Amino acid sequence: MKPLAGINVLDFSQFLSGPSAALRLADLGANVTKIENPAGGDICRSLYLSEWQIDGESALFHAINRNKKSITVDLKESTARAALRPRIEQADVVIFNYRPGVTQRLGLDYASLKALNPGLIYGEISGYGERGPWVSRPGQDLLVQALSGIGYLNGNADQPPLPLGLSVSDIFAGDYLVQGIMAGLVQRSATGGGCLVQVSLLDTLLDLQFEVLTTWLNDGQQDPVRSAVNNANAYIAAPYGIYPTADGFLALAMAPLPRLGELLGCPALTAFSDPQSAFDRRDEIKTLLLNHLRQQTSAHWLELLEKEDIWCANVLNWEQLIASEGFKALDMVQRLTLHSGKTLLTTRCPIKIDGAIFTSPVGAPPLGADNPA
């Protein structure tokens, strides 16, 4: 039995952040029902990351809504909302990521639902919290990245701010919401009462930067200085970065420069015996490495470094990753079967409990597939 078996979740959310939280709860055994607009449903059904689709809907929707049910409800109609009351009374968790004020207008805010179900765990994701001048801004991932400062950590010093190539605020906000919901469920087991769990996309990205933001807050608020050469972390000294080799790329983490110079056959590096020089002369050191590592293949350098426990790795593309034995050992891919009988490969839940891997062969539901007959 999965650990959340018997937990009933109503997922009112759309796009990525809320549905990703509901996905993780479903992966762990919760019974998750999507509440969708009859006119098209979750907008993510038509949010294409590429031209590829399956059964007329986006692959993203199928990946992020596996193992859920779907009912359609026109939440603007009072009679339709009233029909949801028995489900709300029986729910353990509800999830919303509507714009500010929408749940209040619909009578689906926390106070209203708590009156129906005092033990309800109410999960809510917003863009920028509940107050302040940014509350009404669109809670879209790229825009949140832009406001969060995270773009100034990526790319080399001469490049403009660069966003991360993933919807990081959406995905991590979903993870944080799950943490809060699980805490709420534990609290309810002790007190019998529910709670309101709130996460914002901006809070999420600020916490994601806790390491470097804490440094900035306490070191005189000096701007992070990105490397001019192969930047990987604005606060970490050379050799930290990714370097081209004769046939690919090599990642180097922290390493003592004289020892690294000996192993690589790069005498110029052995001169940097003072650890402070790895910070003060970071770009000079990285340029030396950049020119030296181009001379041999990645496999050549890895053979020299790995046996001496120097922190390094080959830089793989997805094709190379999936072909690797390390990836195969994780068993991270599962096959879903859709209602049409078509199949879809996607990742599994990354959490193991007592060694158990949690998968489900059930694909995302067609719109309204679980409407009452």
170 counts as catalytic = yes
Domain annotation covers residue 321: no
Whole-angstrom distance, CA of residue 98 vs CA of residue 79: 21
CATH number, residue 134: 3.40.50.10540
Which residues lie across from 357 on neighbouring strands? 352
CA angle 304, 305, 310 (to 5 degrees): 165
Domain annotation covers residue 30: yes
Same domain, 176 and 263: no
Same domain, 86 and 192: yes
Position 50 scores a pLDDT of 66
Residue range(s) defining the domain that contains residue 196: 8-207+331-357
Same domain, 311 and 347: no
Q: Tokens standing for 168?
A: 């990081």
Answer whether 242's CB lies under 8 Å from 227's CB.
no
Same domain, 339 and 298: no
CA distances from 233 to 152, 218, 241 (A): 10, 18, 8
Domain annotation covers residue 223: no
Domain annotation covers residue 67: yes
Domain annotation covers residue 373: no
Position 48 scores a pLDDT of 67
Encode the chain (373 residues) as per-residue pLDDT tens digits: 999 999 999 999 999 999 999 999 999 999 999 999 999 999 999 876 666 788 889 888 999 999 999 999 999 999 999 999 999 999 999 999 999 999 999 999 999 999 999 999 999 999 999 999 999 999 999 999 999 999 999 999 999 999 999 999 999 999 999 999 999 999 999 999 999 999 999 999 999 999 999 999 999 999 899 999 999 999 999 999 999 999 999 999 999 999 999 999 999 999 999 999 999 999 999 999 999 999 999 999 999 999 999 999 999 999 999 999 999 999 999 999 999 999 999 999 999 999 999 998 999 999 999 999 8
Whole-angstrom distance, CA of residue 189 vs CA of residue 2: 18
Same domain, 287 and 347: no
Catalytic residue among 109, 170, 203, 283: 170
Domain annotation covers residue 364: no
Name the residue with tokens 């919760």: 30
Same domain, 303 and 346: no
Domain annotation covers residue 177: yes
Same domain, 173 and 103: yes
Question: How would you label 96-120 residue by residue, b for 16+ Cβ within 10 Å and e otherwise?
Answer: bbbebeebeebebbbeebbeebebb
Q: Is 266 exposed, middle or buried (CB count within 10 Å of its CB: 0-12, 13-18, 19+)?
A: middle
Same domain, 24 and 160: yes
Domain annotation covers residue 258: yes
Position 4 scores a pLDDT of 98
Q: Quote the distance between the C-alpha of residue 350 and its chain's center.
A: 12
Which of 266, 248, 249 is CA-nearest to residue 257?
266
Same domain, 149 and 44: yes
Which of 185, 201, 198 is CA-nearest to residue 9?
185
Same domain, 106 and 251: no
Position 56 scores a pLDDT of 86
Whole-angstrom distance, CA of residue 296 vs CA of residue 185: 55
Number of structural domains in the chain? 2
Q: Tokens standing for 329?
A: 């050992």
| Residue 171 identity | I
Which residues lie across from 81 on neighbouring strands? none
Same domain, 264 and 150: no
Residues across the chain: 373
Same domain, 172 and 45: yes
